[in-house]
Amino acid sequence: MMTEAKQEVNNEKKPEEKVVDDPRLQAISSAIRVVPNFPKPGIMFQDITTLLLQPKAFKDTIDLFVERYKDKNISVVAGIEARGFIFGPPIALEIGAKFVPLRKPRKLPGEVISEEYVLEYGTDCLEMHVGAVEPGETALVVDDLIATGGTLCAAIKLLERVGAQVLECACVIELPELKGRERLNGKSLYILVESH
């Protein structure tokens, strides 16, 4: 079940701050399809491809992020492969920032830096081009969903290793029961909808 939850959460033990409901959130929430038992039994997959089929809901999603970040002096929007590549570039263009793809291993040509992270079974890795982000830049990390938080943590570490300041992580969907926000080491998390 999806619920509207446009919110900002900071893990520094501040109370959860809920922003006033926006009428666009219901359409966004309704446009996301939940697919049971995909990609394996027991998983309730949050499918944003149905959101992309509805231009108004898709635009509203981008607009909500742009409204939040347009005056924050963000110079880097880092999108996590693969669905962060859908939401990150239009946000970056609208706020006047560059888009930096964070990819799975062996997808980026040239010199990269890597950050491993733990999955439920095993590990994975994110890579970023050397020189894509300069020390002192302010970054926003974008993905479609936060579950356990491992991928977002790896993204934050990559950016901080090159001297960037990560302002916040932004996701369309949060699965709060998986407690991913607790792993973000004090970084703020901004989401549009929760799925329970």
Secondary structure of residue 91 in the 3-state scheme: helix
C-alpha torsion sign, points 62, 64, 66, 72: negative
User: Which residues, listed in sequence order, are joined to residue 4 by a DSSP beta bridge?
Assistant: 193
CA angle 149, 192, 161 (to 5 degrees): 35
- The token pair that represents 64 in the structure block: 């909500």
| DSSP structure string for 14-26 | PPPEEPPP-THHH
17 is catalytic: no
Of residues 68, 83, 103, 183, which has the active-site annotation?
A: 83
C-alpha span between 162 and 158 (Å, rounded): 7
120 is catalytic: yes
Burial label for 20, CB within 10 Å (0-12, 13-18, 19+), is exposed
Of residues 12, 106, 111, 120, which has the active-site annotation?
A: 120
Active site residues: 83, 120
